[in-house]
Amino acid sequence: MIIEKNRKVYQLSDNANEKNLLLLIETFSGWETVAKGWAYNHWGKIGERGGLAEAGELRFEGKLKTSIETYIETYRMLFKTISSIRELFEDFQVKASIYMKEDLSMYRINHLQKLIEDNSFQSISNNFYEKILTVNDSHLLKENDLTLSFKPIREIPIIKPAPQEVQLAIF
């Protein structure tokens, strides 16, 4: 059972009209990325998670059941309150990690080595690199070859889910 405690969405650039977004959720394991990229790409993942809710595999904290309608309406409401990229770095310490697996193609190895060198990643152990990101490193958030982790550095207000029994309108 996945229990979703909180959720927040951030822009991935300073351009307020650009809908390149980072969607984070908080579970009992901490904050994690649900989706990143253009806004329309997020809805597939939200729909999948809504399906989990409908099947009883996911629910909002404090609720006995979360319907697919409530889940989707919660994210419709959330996407009306997108936070800036600067707020991301005010809310979280963001860490980017790179693990250089031995079975990577030469292209990927070269790409990762360039990322490591150009962005001053620190070697943690054999083939493992990390960097604490700042707002000046925000371009790295768009990189798909990085594993991102988020540690809150201030209290993140809880975004309440939509009221139960929401009926979705198709037309």
Give 15-21's long-range contacts (Cβ < 8 A, gap of 24+).
16/84, 20/142, 21/82
Q: At what angle do helices 68-78 and 39-54 cross, to 10 degrees?
A: 150
As given in the structure block, the two tokens for residue 119 are 């962005």
Boundaries of every domain in the chain = 1-166
Beta-strand pair 58-60/2-4: parallel
pLDDT in tens, 119-169: 999 999 999 999 999 999 999 999 999 999 999 999 999 998 988 665 555
Nearest to residue 30, comparing CAs of 166, 168, 114, 151? 151
Please indicate, yes or no, whether the overall pTM of this predicted structure exceeds 0.85.
yes
Give tens-digit pLDDT for 56-91: 999 999 999 999 999 999 999 999 999 999 999 999
